[in-house]
């Protein structure tokens, strides 16, 4: 694959893959189905995630509370990453749509939840590549939801990562900025040093700016935190390929 095409693929994969980053040592602190979901995401296990989502949806329909719908949204977001690893565009779009619906329900049920707004902002962002004129139609709302998440909980590291992704993808003529993206990612790492997603993204920003050594350092740290994540391995391979040129 040509280098330019490879970069494009990784950028799309990065956008699809953004999610709650939980260190392996924290698995015991989350519900079993979310720990299982993280593991399935790392392996790119689409079928396991679908089964977990089906169970979570049934539970959410019964309980009809914000936490249950947040769980559905999170699992769907992880499914988009697993599907991207297999170039399964149909599953990516389906998971993003389903997750967006669940996140909308969570925000309606608990508008004071930073995580509900964070998930809604992230999933709006994930729909951008699958929506006609998605950036113009969904980008502003995605940014607004992520800003709301940060306002409600300034130490929500994942909301900072989501906002950084928006700055990274937005053209500079429309307010995008690699520097703002890097600053937000560094803030996320300051809040949560175990956030491997923030380091994967910071590596991507550095790579795009030609800072190959810095990119290699960040992706190595991401893999130290979570050595099983297939997406991080994919980005590392791109960095190694670029370093050989």
- DSSP line for 192-229: -TT-HHHHHHHHHHHHHTT-HHHHHHHHHHHHHH-TT-
pLDDT average, residue stretch 178-197: 97
pLDDT score at 243: 73
pLDDT digits (tens, 9 = 90+) for 35-71: 999 999 999 999 999 999 999 999 999 999 999 999 9
Task: Please provide the average confidence, as pLDDT, over all residues in the chain.
Answer: 89
Q: Is the pLDDT of residue 75 over 80?
A: yes
pLDDT score at 191: 97
Using the structure block, give the residue that is written with the tokens 């560094």: 186
pLDDT score at 172: 93
Contact 16, 81 (CB under 8 A): yes
Q: Which of 14-23, 68-77, 124-133 has the highest mean pLDDT?
A: 68-77
Show the DSSP H helices in 64-133 as ranges: 66-85, 89-109, 114-127
Helix (H, G, I), strand (E, B) or coil at 187: helix
Q: Minimum mean pLDDT among 23-37, 63-77, 93-107: which range? A: 23-37
CATH fold label, 3-244: 1.25.40
Q: What per-residue string of b and e applies to 24-46 under the rule 16 or more CB within 10 Å gives b?
A: beeeeebeebbbbbbbbbbebbb
Where do the structural domains in the chain lie, given as residue ranges?
3-244
pLDDT digits (tens, 9 = 90+) for 133-182: 898 899 999 999 999 999 999 999 999 999 999 999 999 999 999 999 99
pTM for this predicted structure: 0.86
Choice between 214 and 31, residue whose per-residue pLDDT is larger: 214
């Amino acid at each position: 694959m040509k280098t330019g095409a490879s970069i494009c693929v990784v950028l799309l994969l990065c956008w699809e893959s953004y999610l709650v980053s939980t260190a392996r040592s924290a698995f015991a602190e989350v519900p079993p189905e979310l720990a299982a979901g993280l593991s399935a995401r790392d392996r790119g296990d689409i079928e396991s995630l679908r089964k977990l989502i089906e169970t979570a949806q049934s539970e959410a329909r019964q309980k009809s509370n914000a936490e249950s719908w947040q769980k559905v949204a999170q699992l769907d977001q992880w499914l988009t990453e697993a599907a991207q690893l297999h170039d399964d565009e149909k599953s990516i779009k389906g998971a993003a749509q389903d997750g967006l619906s669940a996140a909308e329900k969570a925000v309606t049920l608990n508008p004071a939840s930073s995580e509900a707004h964070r998930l809604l902002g992230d999933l709006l962002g994930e729909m951008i590549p699958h929506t006609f004129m998605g950036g113009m139609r969904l980008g502003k709302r995605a940014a607004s939801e992520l800003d709301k998440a940060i306002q409600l909980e300034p130490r929500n590291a994942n909301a900072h990562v989501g906002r950084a992704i928006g700055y990274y993808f937005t053209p500079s003529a429309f307010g995008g900025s690699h520097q703002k993206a890097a600053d937000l990612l560094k803030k996320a790492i300051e809040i949560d040093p175990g956030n491997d997603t923030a380091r994967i993204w910071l590596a991507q920003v550095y790579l795009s700016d030609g800072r190959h050594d810095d990119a290699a350092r960040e992706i190595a740290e991401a893999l130290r935190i979570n050595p099983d994540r297939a997406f991080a391995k994919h980005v590392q391979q791109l960095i190694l390929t670029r370093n050989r040129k």
